[in-house]
Amino acid sequence: MSLGSLIQSIKNYNPEADFDLLEYAYKFGEECHAGQKRKSGAPYFSHCIGTAKILIDLKLDIYTICAAILHDTIEDNKEVTRDRLAWQFGETVADLVEGVSKISRYHFKGGVRQRQAESYLKLLLATAQDIRVILIKLADRLHNMETLSFQPESRQREIAKETFEVYAPMAQRLGISRLKSRLEDLAFKHTNPEEYQLIAKLLNQKLVKREDYANQMAEEIENTLRKAEVEAEVYGRPKNIYSIHQKMKEKGTAFEEIFDLMGLRILVKNNPDCYRCIGVIHNNWHHVPARFKDFIGLPKANGYRSIHTTIMDEGRRIEIQIRTHPMHEVAQDGIAAHWSYKEGVPSTNESETIFKWLRGMLEDIRELKNPNQFIRSMKHELLADQVYVFTPRGEVIELPAGSTSVDFAYKIHTQVGDTCKGTEVNGMIMPLRYQLRNGDRVKIITDVNAHPAREWLRWVRTAKAQNRIRQWFREQDRVQAIELGKRFLEIEMKRPRTDINIWLKSERVAEILQILNLKSSEDLLQHIGTGQQLPADIIALVSIDNFPKDIESTNGVIFHSTPTIDLNTLEPDSIRIMKCCHPIPGDEVVAYVTKGKGLSIHKHDCRRIPREDADRLIQVNWKPIDELSYPTEITFEVQDRSGILGKVSTAIAEQKINIRAGNFGPANLNGKTNLNPAKEGVGYNKMILEVTGLEQLEEAMRAIRQLKEVIRVSRR
């Protein structure tokens, strides 16, 4: 595309743009990419212009168009820096180009899961900086997808898969339907080429017939609306190939049985006409109630507004969208429609609210460091469907589908979430983990003495709720972690008469704090107590041979120097449940400090505990938590009767206990064949059960004992 064509395209929507800046960017970009070729053999600069053309179709500002032309200059030309671009094209263009370049520099360490998280995070970093960066990157990806066939086949599938998982969903979340549909179809074409070609062929075979029917229905609806004095434009909207594939997959039907291959769109003048229009249509055609959605009364967070309905016409389903012309612009261009192409800033208060919502959500997700948590929150919060619920005052709150009352509480305010005690949904008391539905009215019951529970982390959906719950526990656990860190450090030093408090004030510790970039000795102990730093690594920084003698104390380290630890407040990765005795919550247990491995949890009478290292033992409490289960083994002796194992399994299942494994037969517990005639007809069995704690295990064992065929049952 020539410079003149670019200028003319921009003049159609922004005749006052700085075309001198555009011309300068065009010539500079052409010079930077001179001699570079794409896989297709075309000049590389054609990709930069193709990216810019996609953004011109979205009517973006001149700075974004210039940045699109220059988006690969820093990557591909060593002489081009961010400062040089700022000097030649201004700070805005330089920031945008640098933002696009940074997307390819951020890395998670690890395998496939980490690389997927990395792809998501790249987009988040770009979006949080300036929304236009992600728009440039989406356009860049779309143009690359349009020319993907020149890449090796393995590379095609890799890029197409990433487009499916990251870029198309992001375009959908930003409301840019025109980009989303094209990205989906192009990705589908390369990940499933045979299915793509089949659907494309079938669509072309009946295209004329389908278009004739759509035109006929559009004319009939338009005439009906005209009689009701509703002025409207009605036209057909063909569905993209991938959406048809999804519909066939979801319904399990063949292409010939999909009747709604083309929907209708109705554009009216104003909001009242939208509702008058839907009333006329529902009065003249049967509609599917479950398919009616009002996104005008409850707009999506990205600004999308429209009314959706599905009507029946001679057995055919016809999907209809009703909206005003401004709503249609937002539906097509999404968040880009809220951008002023003249000033290069958000154009309305509504658009500023949308950007604040998006950035706030992205900041919450970015706080998650674990790749698995990051991906889960990304998919739930940014890429999944949403539900719309009401506060007691009638304010609308948008949450990811599957969100709970706890997510709702933290969405309102951190303090509301931290003191959440219960919830009312539509006037009824409901469990906190109840998954909210569209239209629910939610009231949070708070108590100043209430506090978060760690099990909330297992079912909250929003990144904000996860972060705030973890933050609360970090603050509450600080004192305990410091004391635990002291014990770890004392044991690692192997100097029981060392006064750790005096040592922590020494000059050497000050040096260690500086090396680790920590502010205080309490921070150091907290890092050790929570497993962020291993005691051995700290000791490696200390010359034990030159350990000062003046910090020894006459008081030796004793068992009770550390307060009793609540295991449920520790991170799961910092403790090990030992298989030698299979302890479970409710047992009398102790923790043994294992060098470099955290806490090993044993039953207090376990023979494997090294009794000679009493200073390594820590008192702990361990109470059951719903939804957390632990394996334990039971053995039982039964009369060998038909169906007895079924009865035992039923008794266990009635206690809502899962059987992980079992070993059944006439052998005794040592695995030897039963040679005792008196014991003929007796079965010896063992099972590994998953229980929440000792109380649940004892209930299960009582239920088994009540069976008349059971001779004895015990915990192994």
Over residues 668-697, the mean pLDDT reads 69
Over residues 27-55, the mean pLDDT reads 90
Same domain, 532 and 656: no
What is residue 246's three-state secondary structure? helix
Q: What is the pLDDT of residues 373-392, one digit of tens each?
A: 565 666 656 656 678 888 99
Same domain, 321 and 181: no
Closest alpha carbon to 390 in 456, 446, 436: 436
Report in angstroms the alpha-carbon separations of 662 from 50, 112, 221, 459, 666.
Answer: 63, 35, 66, 30, 14
Phi, psi of 605 (to 5 degrees): -105, 15
Highest mean predicted confidence (pLDDT) among 181-195, 288-302, 500-514: 181-195
Is position 542 within any domain? yes
Single residue among 271, 305, 338 that ends a domain in this structure: 338
Q: Tell me what the pLDDT averaged over the chain comes to.
A: 79
Highest mean predicted confidence (pLDDT) among 106-110, 195-199, 245-249, 620-624: 195-199
Same domain, 644 and 602: no
Over residues 646-665, the mean pLDDT reads 85
Please check the confidence at residue 416 and state whether its pLDDT lies above 90. Answer: yes
Single residue among 621, 642, 670 that ends a domain in this structure: 621
Is position 355 within any domain? no
DSSP 337: G
Q: What is the pLDDT of residues 252-306, one digit of tens each?
A: 676 666 655 668 999 999 999 999 999 999 999 998 888 888 989 888 767 788 9
Closest alpha carbon to 409 in 397, 426, 395: 397
Angle between helices 349-366 and 463-493 in degrees, nearest 10:
30
Same domain, 211 and 186: no
pLDDT value at position 627? Answer: 64
Angle at 97 between CA 93 and CA 101, to 5 degrees: 165
Segment among 74-83, 419-428, 474-483, 501-510 with least mean pLDDT: 474-483
SS3 percent helix, strand, coil of the chain, rounded to 5, is 50, 15, 30
Phi, psi of 619 (to 5 degrees): -75, 140
Over residues 570-583, the mean pLDDT reads 77
pLDDT value at position 355? Answer: 62
Single residue among 621, 638, 658 that ends a domain in this structure: 621
- How many residues in total does the chain contain? 716
CB 347 within 8 A of CB 338: yes
Same domain, 423 and 392: yes
Segment among 194-198, 543-547, 564-568 with least mean pLDDT: 543-547
Only one residue has tokens 């779309």, namely 142
Same domain, 101 and 11: yes
Is position 142 within any domain? yes
16 tagged catalytic: no
Q: Where are the alpha helices (DSSP H) in 33-167?
A: 45-57, 62-69, 73-76, 82-89, 91-102, 112-129, 131-146, 153-162
pLDDT value at position 419? Answer: 94
Is position 53 within any domain? yes
Q: Which of 23, 57, 76, 313 is catalytic?
A: 76
CA 658 to chain centre: 29
Is position 393 within any domain? yes
Angle at 574 between CA 571 and CA 579, to 5 degrees: 115
Domain that holds residue 389: 385-451
Segment among 421-425, 442-446, 687-691 with least mean pLDDT: 687-691
In angstroms, rounded to a whole number, what is the distance separating the alpha carbons of residues 590 and 526? 21
Highest mean predicted confidence (pLDDT) among 273-277, 391-395, 516-520: 273-277
Same domain, 181 and 210: no
User: At 141, is the pLDDT very low, low, confident or very high (cuts 50, 70, 90)?
Assistant: very high
Q: Which of 31, 75, 91, 211 is catalytic?
A: 75
pLDDT value at position 70? Answer: 93
Tokens at 295, concatenated: 């996104």
Is position 373 within any domain? no
Is position 518 within any domain? yes
pLDDT value at position 108? Answer: 40
DSSP 556: P
pLDDT value at position 358? Answer: 63
Q: Rg of the chain over CA atoms, in angstroms?
A: 33
475 tagged catalytic: no
Angle at 119 between CA 117 and CA 121, to 5 degrees: 65
Please check the confidence at residue 471 and state whether its pLDDT lies above 70. Answer: yes
Which one has a higher pLDDT value, 368 or 226? 226
Is position 353 within any domain? no
CB 422 within 8 A of CB 436: no
Segment among 266-270, 626-630, 712-716 with least mean pLDDT: 626-630
Please check the confidence at residue 593 and state whether its pLDDT lies above 80. Answer: no
pLDDT value at position 401? Answer: 82
pLDDT value at position 353? Answer: 60
In angstroms, rounded to a whole number, what is the distance separating the alpha carbons of residues 252 and 6? 46
Please check the confidence at residue 229 and state whether its pLDDT lies above 60. Answer: yes
Same domain, 571 and 687: no
Same domain, 119 and 225: no
Greatest CA separation for the chain:
103
Closest alpha carbon to 48 in 89, 1, 102, 91: 1
pLDDT value at position 417? Answer: 94
CATH of the domain at 257: 3.30.460.10
Please check the confidence at residue 122 and state whether its pLDDT lies above 60. Answer: no
Same domain, 530 and 558: yes
When divided into structural domains, the chain yields a total of 5
